[in-house]
């Protein structure tokens, strides 16, 4: 398939586009942008570099991709944005490049859906098969695992983490880490409401795996135990089950603390 670039689009000579990329009206693709095969760039999108975009992505209208970080310390240093394959970016989404102090790169996996007005700030690392609902917002330096759903109008504080298979309900304000496999919902203070049972079942988790996470949650939510005590008991009673071990390792690695029901 031949490349299709609308006559009103502006494509810098130093941009690299695969042979079958399609670029819509009034789109702007700047120097340093590399776009893989089968990608569609819709009308009025702006793609800035250095940005590398994989194959089969789709950018609907007015996307702002690869712009400089919104960080007062940034002084024009060479940083970048890296995007995987087969993602869909809906209207008015914004993704920023990294900063030197944060590793210099923002990364996005594959097979994600980023609905209208999603914002992913500098130095974030977003996994694959994620869903960001309308106006979901990540501050800088946020790590998001695989198979995560971030609800509409949710905001995640800088340097926070969202674990694999986590679900954040709409309007959630996450100022600490959100546990993998669990549902975290609410404005300040957000609370965790246990395993995302329906979502995990849809993802193919067996009843045995779901039950193990329910047992873990009953320990973690106990008002008689501190988080440290709960982790110790869970490790003693449930260790060796991969999903449980993953949650406990996630808690062990927290810098900001994790969101639990007792908060």
Number of separate domains in the chain: 2
Query: 20 and 94 share a domain?
Result: yes
Domain with 248, as residue range(s), is: 201-252
Q: HSE on the CB side for 114, CA within 13 Å?
A: 31
Query: 108 and 208 share a domain?
Result: no
Specify the DSSP element, H or E, that contains 182: strand 182-185
β-strand 113-114 against 137-138: which pairing, if any? unpaired
Query: 137 and 206 share a domain?
Result: no
Distances (CA, A) of 47 to 29, 40, 236: 5, 12, 51
Query: 137 and 205 share a domain?
Result: no
Burial class (CB in 10 A: 0-12, 13-18, 19+), 212: buried
Query: 134 and 24 share a domain?
Result: yes
Query: 125 and 233 share a domain?
Result: no
- Structural domain contains residue 70: yes
Model confidence, pTM? 0.96
Q: Is the pLDDT of residue 2 over 80?
A: no
Q: What is the mean pLDDT of residues 194-211?
A: 97
Query: Residue 237 is part of a domain; what is its CATH number?
Result: 1.20.1180
Last residue of a domain, one of 141, 161, 191: 141
Last residue of a domain, one of 125, 141, 157: 141
- Structural domain contains residue 111: yes
- Structural domain contains residue 210: yes
Among the listed residues 140, 145, 151, 163, the single catalytic one is: 140
- Structural domain contains residue 183: no
Q: Which residues of 174-185 are buried (b: 16+ CB within 10 A; e: fewer)?
A: bbbbbbbbbbbb
Among the listed residues 119, 122, 125, 141, the single catalytic one is: 122
Query: 136 and 27 share a domain?
Result: yes
Burial class (CB in 10 A: 0-12, 13-18, 19+), 159: middle
d(CA 28, CA 75): 23
Active site residue 123: yes
pLDDT band at 262 (very low <50, low <70, confident <90, very high): low
Among the listed residues 85, 123, 177, 243, the single catalytic one is: 123
Give the CA diameter of the chain.
67
Active site residue 140: yes
Give per-residue pLDDT as tens, 134-189. Answer: 999 999 999 999 999 999 999 999 999 999 999 999 999 999 999 999 999 999 89
Last residue of a domain, one of 94, 121, 141: 141
């Amino acid at each position: 398939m031949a490349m299709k670039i609308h006559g009103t689009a502006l494509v810098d000579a130093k941009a690299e586009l695969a042979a079958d990329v399609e670029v819509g009206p009034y789109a702007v693709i700047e120097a340093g942008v590399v776009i893989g095969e089968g990608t569609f760039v819709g009308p009025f999108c702006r793609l800035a570099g250095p940005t590398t975009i994989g194959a089969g992505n789709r950018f609907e209208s007015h996307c702002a991709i690869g712009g400089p970080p919104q960080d007062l310390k940034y002084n024009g240093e060479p940083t970048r944005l890296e995007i995987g394959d087969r993602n869909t970016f809906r209207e008015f989404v914004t993704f920023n490049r990294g900063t030197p102090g944060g590793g210099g790169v923002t990364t996005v996996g594959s097979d994600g859906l980023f609905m209208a007005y999603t914002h992913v700030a500098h130095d974030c690392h977003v996994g694959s098969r994620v869903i960001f609902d309308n106006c979901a917002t990540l501050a800088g330096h946020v790590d998001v695992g695989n198979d995560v759903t971030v609800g509409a109008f949710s905001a995640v504080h800088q340097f926070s983490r969202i674990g694999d298979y986590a679900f954040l309900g709409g309007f959630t304000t996450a100022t600490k880490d959100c546990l993998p496999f669990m549902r975290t919902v609410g404005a300040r203070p957000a609370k965790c409401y246990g395993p995302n049972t329906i979502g995990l079942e849809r993802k193919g988790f067996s009843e045995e795996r779901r039950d193990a996470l329910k047992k873990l949650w009953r320990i973690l939510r106990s008002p008689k135990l501190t988080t440290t005590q709960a982790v110790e008991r869970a490790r003693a009673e449930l260790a060796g089950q991969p999903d449980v071990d993953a949650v406990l390792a996630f808690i062990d690695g927290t810098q900001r603390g994790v969101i639990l029901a007792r908060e």
